Homo-oligomer: A and B are copies of this chain.
Amino acid sequence: MDYATAKRINQLLTTVYGDIVRVEELALRQSQFKDISIKEVHAVDVISMYEHKTTSQVARELRITPGTLTTMVNHLVRKDYVQRIRSDDDRRFVRLGLTRRGRLIYRAHESFHRKMVESFAKDMDDEQLQIIEKALLNLEAFLEFADPTPKK
């Protein structure tokens, strides 16, 4: 790969994420969900609709400590996005679920991402999509090699 191309792709890769976050934050401010941050939405996304994962599970997926998640969940409960559900079989566990409002934001966020990916792959056929997925998998493998810490 020539130097200029590497530079351009690197530039795109490194700026795109910040742009996504900024656009999502902006969209939230303009929506009916003004009281929630993008980080909190990502927590809602991981908590998700049906699984009722435990606090530790969710913390691990978000790569934050359980203590940090506890305070985050406190906020999300106060703002009526998340509910705590004590496990009946083992009362040490706290399982997390979404409220009606939580499910609303979950779906709004999901829909934004769907649109985003569609714009990303605009006008591309299956073969081209496969190339893109391959590139992203290459990148993941490279990172995985550099830090083999398991993700879940």
**A17 CB, min distance to chain B CBs, angstroms:** 4
Q: Does A9 contact B117, Cβ atoms closer than 8 Å?
A: yes
Q: Contacts A12-B137, A121-B1, A139-B120; is A6 near B132 (CB within 8 Å)?
A: no
A117 touches which of B6, B122, B141 (Cβ 8 Å): B6
Query: Interface size for chain A: under 10, 10 to 19, 20 to 34, or 35 or more residues?
Result: 35 or more
This chain: copies in complex: 2
Secondary structure call for the A interface: helix
A61 to B104: give the CA distance in the assembly, Å: 34
Chain A interface (Cβ < 8 Å from any Cβ of B): 1, 5-6, 8-10, 12-20, 22-23, 26-27, 63, 113-122, 124, 128-129, 131-133, 135-144, 146-147, 149, 151
